[in-house]
């Protein structure tokens, strides 16, 4: 059993931070989660949870709930942008579950977040707490927040996302490269499609220099989502913001000539958000001493494989396994073991995602979907 006194500060109550908190609380650690947002907002976005992610969600105890609410597409289909010709078809229904030991879910990002939040006691969450400074001493870490408050913790897990403040403090400023692409995304009631027929499976429409991914985000198929990736000439000024709006007319014009199903979606869509896509060089290390990074904070990736949040969930599981039974003297070694276990896999996923070829043609997804963070071997 860990010492009662081992206190852990998790920075960021996103998907990675909440999952980490839930898993560490079960081991008896004194966990507090600090989140800059004053409340959780329902941002319009879908999210795919592949079997490797669902295995962690199962360990969190939320699989049954998600089976009720999430869309389970029978197939993942790739189609040519104009003719609609099918270039690959992966079975995602019972077949994927039988092969990889867990289902494949499609759902609203906010529903996933709320489901994970439901297993984290409210009293460990500190909302409206933006971390601004952090200082390591021999016996712990002092954290300072924008409101002037300060706390001490034995260990810090930074799940503070792609713009991680902790990463900057501990590892210095990092360079982000604009990929030249932006993503437009929207969720809206399927009823807005009127009579237009949309093939009810997860579909990726592959154009010469742009694409669109489409799927339902509810089991009832009453809400639909699409996300694009497309070139943008100048470096767009509002990078990586979930709330920045996009121009529908511009979006519609940029998909001229695409298949009628794509046109129907774009016509029905009431509003879009826009997100600039950046890439980063792999980090030399994921932390120092009693501070470690997790999720997008240490391995941000393009969304082309739908594996960013899945990787954050895998991180949470592996980190919690590395921390099992440790006391304050074991923190740094546990963090190093977690990094050594996770880095080869997340680097490979980052690289594959960047290429944007995943499932375009016939692909064996076993190395991604077959992974089980709950039992995978840990580095020595």
Ligand X SMILES: Cc1cc2nc3c(=O)[nH]c(=O)nc-3n(C[C@H](O)[C@H](O)[C@H](O)COP(=O)(O)OP(=O)(O)OC[C@H]3O[C@@H](n4cnc5c(N)ncnc54)[C@H](O)[C@@H]3O)c2cc1C
Tokens 């695409």 locate to 258
Nearest to 241 by CA among 126, 188, 162: 162
Tell whether residue 13 is a contact of ligand X (CB under 6 A).
yes
Contacts of residue 376, defined as CB under 8 A and 6 or more positions apart, other chains included, come to 318, 341
The DSSP secondary structure of 243-258, one letter per residue, reads T-EE-HHHHHHHTTTS
Tell whether residue 306 is a contact of ligand X (CB under 6 A).
yes
Based on its alpha-carbon atoms, the radius of gyration of the chain, rounded to whole angstroms, reads 21
Tell whether residue 314 is a contact of ligand X (CB under 6 A).
no
Tell whether residue 275 is a contact of ligand X (CB under 6 A).
yes
Q: Minimum distance between the CB of residue 212 and ligand X, rounded to whole angstroms?
A: 12
Query: Contact region for ligand X (CB under 6 A) — 63-71, 74-82, 293-301, 329-337?
Result: 293-301
For ligand X, which residue of 7, 32, 36, 73 counts as binding (CB under 6 A)?
A: 36
Q: Minimum distance between the CB of residue 353 and ligand X, rounded to whole angstroms?
A: 10
Q: What is d(CA 250, CA 10) in angstroms, rounded to the nearest whole number?
A: 40
Q: What is the three-class DSSP state of 32? A: strand
Query: Contact region for ligand X (CB under 6 A) — 114-122, 189-197, 304-312, 344-352?
Result: 304-312
7 or 36: whose CB is closer to ligand X? Answer: 36
Nearest to 307 by CA among 221, 224, 365: 365
Query: What are the catalytic residues?
Result: 215
2 or 183: whose CB is closer to ligand X? Answer: 183
Q: Minimum distance between the CB of residue 37 and ligand X, rounded to whole angstroms?
A: 5
Query: Contact region for ligand X (CB under 6 A) — 9-17, 168-176, 281-289, 368-376?
Result: 9-17
DSSP state of 118: T
Terminus-to-terminus CA distance in the chain, angstroms?
21
Tell whether residue 126 is a contact of ligand X (CB under 6 A).
no
Tell whether residue 296 is a contact of ligand X (CB under 6 A).
yes
Residue 348 parent element (H or E): helix 331-355
Tokens 């932006």 locate to 182
1 or 39: whose CB is closer to ligand X? Answer: 39
Residue 336 parent element (H or E): helix 331-355
210 or 330: whose CB is closer to ligand X? Answer: 210
Neighbours of 173 (CB within 10 A): 7
Tell whether residue 29 is a contact of ligand X (CB under 6 A).
no
Tell whether residue 90 is a contact of ligand X (CB under 6 A).
no
DSSP state of 283: P
Contacts of residue 369, defined as CB under 8 A and 6 or more positions apart, other chains included, come to 50, 51, 52, 96, 99, 100, 104
Count of positions on this chain that bind ligand X (CB under 6 A): 33
2 or 246: whose CB is closer to ligand X? Answer: 246
215 or 258: whose CB is closer to ligand X? Answer: 215
Residues 320-359, interacting with ligand X (CB under 6 A): none
Residues 169-198, interacting with ligand X (CB under 6 A): 183, 185
Residue 274 phi/psi, 5° resolution? -135, 140
Query: Contact region for ligand X (CB under 6 A) — 32-40, 169-177, 243-251, 370-378?
Result: 32-40
5 or 241: whose CB is closer to ligand X? Answer: 241
Query: Contact region for ligand X (CB under 6 A) — 204-212, 292-300, 352-360, 362-370?
Result: 292-300
Tell whether residue 15 is a contact of ligand X (CB under 6 A).
yes
> Is-contact 369 95, C-beta < 8 A?
no
Burial label for 110, CB within 10 Å (0-12, 13-18, 19+), is middle
Tell whether residue 204 is a contact of ligand X (CB under 6 A).
no
Tell whether residue 130 is a contact of ligand X (CB under 6 A).
yes
Per-residue burial over 333-353, b if 16 or more Cβ lie within 10 Å, else e, is: ebbbbbbebbbebbeebbebb
Residues that bind ligand X (CB under 6 A): 11-17, 34-37, 47-48, 130-131, 159-161, 165, 183, 185, 227, 275, 295-297, 303, 306-310, 312
């Amino acid at each position: 059993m860990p010492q009662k006194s081992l206190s852990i500060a998790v920075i960021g109550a996103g998907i990675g931070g909440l999952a980490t908190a839930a898993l560490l609380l079960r081991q008896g650690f004194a966990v507090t989660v600090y989140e800059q947002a004053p409340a959780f907002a329902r941002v319009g976005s879908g999210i795919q949870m592949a079997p490797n992610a669902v295995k962690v969600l199962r360990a969190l105890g939320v699989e049954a709930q998600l089976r009720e609410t999430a869309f389970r597409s029978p197939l993942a289909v790739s189609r040519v942008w104009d003719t609609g010709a099918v270039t690959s078809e992966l079975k995602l229904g019972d077949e994927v579950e039988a092969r990889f030991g867990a289902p494949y879910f499609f759902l609203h990002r906010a529903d996933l977040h709320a489901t994970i939040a439901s297993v984290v006691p409210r009293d460990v969450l500190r909302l409206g707490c933006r971390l601004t400074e952090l200082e390591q001493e021999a016996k712990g870490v002092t954290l300072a927040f924008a409101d002037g408050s300060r706390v001490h913790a034995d260990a810090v897990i930074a799940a503070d996302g792609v713009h991680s403040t902790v990463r900057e403090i501990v590892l210095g400023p990092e360079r982000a490269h604009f990929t030249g692409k932006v993503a437009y995304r929207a969720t809206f009631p399927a009823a807005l499609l009127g009579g237009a027929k949309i093939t009810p499976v997860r579909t990726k429409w592959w154009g010469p220099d742009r694409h669109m991914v489409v799927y339902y985000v509810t089991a009832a198929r009453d809400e639909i989502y699409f996300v694009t990736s497309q070139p943008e000439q100048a470096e767009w000024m509002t990078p990586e913001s979930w709330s920045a709006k996009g121009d529908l007319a511009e979006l519609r014009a940029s998909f001229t000539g695409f298949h009628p199903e794509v046109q129907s979606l774009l016509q029905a869509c009431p509003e879009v958000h826009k997100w600039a896509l950046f890439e980063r060089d792999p980090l030399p290390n994921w932390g120092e001493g009693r501070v470690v990074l997790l999720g997008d904070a240490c391995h941000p990736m393009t969304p082309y494989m739908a594996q960013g949040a899945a990787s954050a969930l895998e991180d949470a599981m592996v980190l919690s396994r590395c921390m099992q039974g440790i006391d304050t003297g074991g923190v740094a070694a546990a963090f190093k073991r977690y990094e050594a276990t996770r880095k080869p896999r997340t680097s490979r996923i980052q690289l594959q995602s960047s290429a944007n070829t995943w499932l375009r043609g016939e692909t064996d997804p076993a190395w991604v979907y077959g992974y089980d963070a709950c039992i995978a071997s840990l580095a020595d």
